[in-house]
Amino acid sequence: MEFNIAMTDELLATTRAVRKRLDLDRPVPRSVIKDCLELAVQAPTGSNSQTWRWLVVEEADKKQALADLYRRAASDYLAAAGEAAAERGDVQTKRVMGSALYLAEHLQDVPVHLIPCIAGRPPADTPPAMMAGFYGSIFPAVWSFQLALRARGLGSALTTLHLVHEKEAADLLGIPDDVLQVALLPVAYTRGTDFKRAERPPVEDIIHWNQW
Amino acid sequence: MEFNIAMTDELLATTRAVRKRLDLDRPVPRSVIKDCLELAVQAPTGSNSQTWRWLVVEEADKKQALADLYRRAASDYLAAAGEAAAERGDVQTKRVMGSALYLAEHLQDVPVHLIPCIAGRPPADTPPAMMAGFYGSIFPAVWSFQLALRARGLGSALTTLHLVHEKEAADLLGIPDDVLQVALLPVAYTRGTDFKRAERPPVEDIIHWNQW
């Protein structure tokens, strides 16, 4: 198959973190989640480990409990980060933080929560700088899931703030101790699909050719 | 823009880790790398941090030094992992390890090495299970880069084995101490573009609905 470069570029450039424009009223069929996860697990993994596992939460009481737990971790942090961004004149980040606060308030109402997991928890004394192979074997798949959603008119956002209460979330959902949660993604149809490219500084400023 | 779902699915499902089919003879123009990095940095980052930095290595002596360093980390590991896979009858992983060994032998001849970095090294006492937000802010962009390559007839592979010698690579390339390397991707045009979907177990086996 020949790829249409303009279309693939549009997909990669306009798959945003969607929070305020998640449609809280439109149900998400399981078949859509399954189709997008089938595409997700086509991504490569280190040493072909394929240790990804996917927890999909649709039940209202569990989403409510996850949202409560998320807000406990997130609200103070997001408000402070928003204020700090405003003080240094970073309008884009201030807007992102406002959007993230909106999500925290409405998380229980999002049709689906996806919690990507890894079967096999890393030893607690692993240096953080040696975790690239581990997380590099799950986040490409997570991003593929988000891109597959985008092509189908849905949106999501990669959040990790609930992980400070990972054990509580595990108890709520029956996740075994040796399984590591890596994120929580709200998933919904989007209100409209006309998402734009993000404003970014010139990429040349952050590329180093041959030498830092 | 309306997305062609069949085409986006094909992109997500056939962007493989390419090693044996990297074209070692065809130069890769800087403009292609730059275009793909422009798409990469459209990905979201946690708290809009955008701390990604990109080191692109084209010079022969530096690629040779990186390849030597990579082989020192990789060869024994890959050979052992291949034998272990063969012993348990895991043909797919055995093939992956053979391909990875091929890459290790030819790494210096690949036209471009890309080393994605994060400005801001995490504190050494950060628990490995709390690194999701950190790595989740770079690997979606790395995967977007790989997908953008695929649409243009190029391929790559996400490798992390050189990171056990991260400091040596940093000294070679002048990377400051507070900048963290997260991977090394060989980048080249591919010999042919007819990549197939990977064989995967049924996705239902690794989805948990509402409860583990």
- Sorted by where each begins, the domain ranges of chain B are 18-194
**CA closest to A30 among chain B residues:** B209
Longest dimension (CA), chain A: 53
3-state DSSP assignment of residue B137: coil
In which band, very low, low, confident or very high, does the pLDDT at A79 lie, cut at 50, 70 and 90? confident
**Average pLDDT rounded to a whole number, residues A6-25:** 97
pLDDT exceeds cutoff 80 at A1: no
Report CB contact under 8 Å: A207, B54: yes
Report CB contact under 8 Å: A58, B129: no
Is this model's pTM higher than 0.90 or not?
Answer: yes
Report CB contact under 8 Å: B53, A182: no
Displacement of CA A38 from its chain's centroid (Å): 17
CA distance B14 to chain A (A): 7
| pLDDT score of A75 | 84
Burial class from Cβ neighbours inside 10 Å (0-12, 13-18, 19+) for residue A169 reads: buried
How many cross-chain Cβ pairs, A to B, lie less than 8 Å apart?
273
Residues in chain B within 8 Å Cβ distance of A55: 207-208, 212
CA distance B39 to chain A (A): 6
Residues in chain B within 8 Å Cβ distance of A150: 3
What CA–CA distances, in Å, run from B2 to A7, A17, A122, B43?
9, 19, 41, 20
Close Cβ partners of A99 (under 8 Å, ≥ 6 residues apart) = A17, A19, A20
pLDDT exceeds cutoff 80 at A17: yes
Closest to B211 (Cα-Cα) out of A37, A56, A14:
A56
Report CB contact under 8 Å: A209, B47: no
CATH of domain A17-121+132-175+184-192: 3.40.109.10
DSSP-H helix ranges across chain A:
5-14, 30-40, 60-87, 91-106, 132-135, 139-151, 166-173
Residue of A4, A8, A161 for testing the chain B interface, max B β-carbons within 10 Å: A8
Closest to B73 (Cα-Cα) out of B188, B181, B187:
B181
Positions in chain B short of pLDDT 70: 1
DSSP B61: H
Residues in chain A within 8 Å Cβ distance of B57: 210
**CA closest to A97 among chain B residues:** B47
DSSP B193: S
Closest to B138 (Cα-Cα) out of B46, B56, B57, B55:
B46
Give the tens place of pLDDT for each residue, A126-167.
Answer: 999 999 999 999 999 999 999 999 999 999 999 999 999 999
Virtual CA dihedral for B12, B200, B113, B72, nearest 10 degrees?
Answer: 170
| pLDDT score of B152 | 98
| pLDDT score of B75 | 84
Q: What is the ipTM of this complex?
A: 0.97
Report CB contact under 8 Å: A163, B122: no
| pLDDT score of A2 | 82
Give the tens place of pLDDT for each residue, B55-100.
Answer: 999 999 999 999 999 999 988 888 888 899 999 999 999 999 999 9
Residues in chain A within 8 Å Cβ distance of B197: 42
CATH of domain B18-194: 3.40.109.10
